[in-house]
């Protein structure tokens, strides 16, 4: 049990009352030790709230106390929801504050994600976003920071899925004889869904049709979906290209052309792509000027062996 002086901010959670850590391959949230015993309700879970109301003009306004769930109960629910999001363990630390922009596009992406998270309108329609760029540029990082804020600070329910896991779920459902609709039911209804690595892998026809149905359902219900992809969004920048296929049932020829072009539109097909355009704001990181953080960190880490400048054995 950690004790702290009144007014002192907890060093473990920075006053947020919860901490997020890596537990196995998942990011896991728990109540901070500083808040294990709620000081507001002393562990009862309920608190009194003073209300004022006029029941009759003669008597005038009257004050009375009602029992309401304490904030610690609300926090417990949000932590529970966070642990159902499915964020990867490596994203436990991901935050907006910890995101560095190396160019204008990354700056725009961070601002877009932050604005989206901080101004989310629970009662209204919220346009999502799609981040496109090379590996290691923080796309998953920004998705994770956004979902964290939405679930823990706004109180939404959200899910994160990597596309190959989504395909695996669809495949399993298919083998169990479920319909596409049954398989994607929970994902089509969750308030905010983030689909990572969009365009990766080669989904079977059933997998692609089910993905199509998932996007269509969320689109029709005006639910918010976020995406990240390594594939490019803008064909016009890439000069001449083969005619776009009309759907995901493209021939082998157009498929190999698409692989060469690395266009998301050609990876997911026209139907899904046009819905994404309506559902989302786009940001694309330029390939040439956006550094891969995974590689940069490796290069910065001190290695055992001769000091920098000295001879290095080839490896």
Ligand X SMILES: Nc1ncnc2c1ncn2[C@@H]1O[C@H](COP(=O)(O)OP(=O)(O)O)[C@@H](O)[C@H]1O
112 binds, among Mg ion, ligand X, Zn ion, none (CB under 5 to 8 A by kind): none
132 binds, among ligand X, Zn ion, Mg ion, none (CB under 5 to 8 A by kind): none
* Cβ nearer to ligand X, comparing 254 with 293: 293
What mask, x for binding ligand X by CB under 6 A, covers residues 31 to 70? ----------------------------------------
Which one, of 198, 180, 202, lies nearest residue 250 by Cα? 202
Which one, of 293, 263, 29, 313, lies nearest residue 138 by Cα? 293
* Cβ nearer to ligand X, comparing 189 with 292: 292
99 binds, among Mg ion, ligand X, Zn ion, none (CB under 5 to 8 A by kind): ligand X
Backbone angles phi and psi of 8, in degrees to 5: -85, 135
Helices (H), 162-248: 163-175, 180-189, 205-220
Residues in 3-32 that interact with Zn ion by CB under 5 A: 10, 12-13, 32
262 binds, among Zn ion, Mg ion, ligand X, none (CB under 5 to 8 A by kind): none
Q: How far is the CB of 87 from Mg ion (least distance, A)?
A: 12
280 contacts 268 by C-beta, under 8 angstroms: no
258/269 Cα distance (integer angstroms): 10
106/146 Cα distance (integer angstroms): 15
Q: How far is the CB of 95 from Zn ion (least distance, A)?
A: 16
Confirm or reject binding of residue 136 to ligand X (CB under 6 A): yes
27/104 Cα distance (integer angstroms): 29
Q: How far is the CB of 99 from ligand X (least distance, A)?
A: 4
Which one, of 114, 115, 117, lies nearest residue 96 by Cα? 114
Burial state string for 86-109 with b = 16 or more CB within 10 A and e = fewer than 16: ebbeebbebebeebeeeeebbeeb
32 binds, among Mg ion, Zn ion, ligand X, none (CB under 5 to 8 A by kind): Zn ion
Residues that bind ligand X (CB under 6 A): 90, 94, 98-100, 106, 135-141, 228, 293-294
């Amino acid at each position: 049990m950690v004790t702290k002086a009144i007014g002192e901010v907890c060093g473990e959670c920075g006053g947020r009352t919860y901490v997020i850590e890596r537990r196995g391959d998942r990011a896991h949230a728990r109540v901070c030790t500083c808040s294990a015993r709620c000081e507001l309700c002393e562990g009862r879970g309920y608190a009194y709230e003073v209300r004022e109301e006029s029941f009759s003009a003669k008597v005038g306004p009257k004050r009375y106390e009602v029992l309401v769930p304490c904030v610690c109960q609300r926090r417990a629910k949000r932590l529970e929801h966070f642990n159902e999001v499915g964020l990867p363990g490596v994203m436990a630390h991901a935050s907006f504050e910890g995101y560095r922009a190396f160019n204008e596009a990354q700056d725009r992406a961070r601002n877009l994600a932050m604005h989206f998270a901080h101004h989310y309108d629970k009662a209204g329609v919220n346009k999502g976003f799609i981040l496109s760029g090379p590996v290691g540029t923080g796309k998953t990082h920004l998705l994770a920071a956004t979902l964290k804020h939405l679930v823990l600070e706004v109180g939404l329910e959200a899910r994160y899925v990597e596309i190959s896991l989504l395909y695996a779920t669809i495949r399993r459902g298919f083998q169990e004889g479920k319909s596409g609709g049954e398989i994607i039911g929970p994902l089509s209804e969750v308030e905010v869904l983030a689909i990572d690595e969009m365009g990766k892998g080669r989904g079977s026809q059933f997998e692609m049709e089910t993905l199509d149905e998932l996007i269509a359902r969320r689109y029709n219900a005006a639910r918010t979906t976020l995406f990240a992809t390594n594939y490019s969004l803008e064909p016009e920048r890439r000069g001449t290209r083969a005619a776009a296929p009309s759907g995901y049932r493209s021939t082998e020829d157009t498929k190999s052309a698409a692989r060469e072009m690395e266009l998301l539109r050609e990876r997911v097909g026209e139907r899904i792509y046009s819905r994404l355009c309506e559902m989302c704001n786009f940001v694309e990181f330029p390939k040439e000027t956006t550094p891969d953080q995974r590689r940069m960190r490796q290069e910065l880490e001190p290695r055992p062996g001769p000091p920098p400048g000295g001879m290095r054995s080839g490896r």
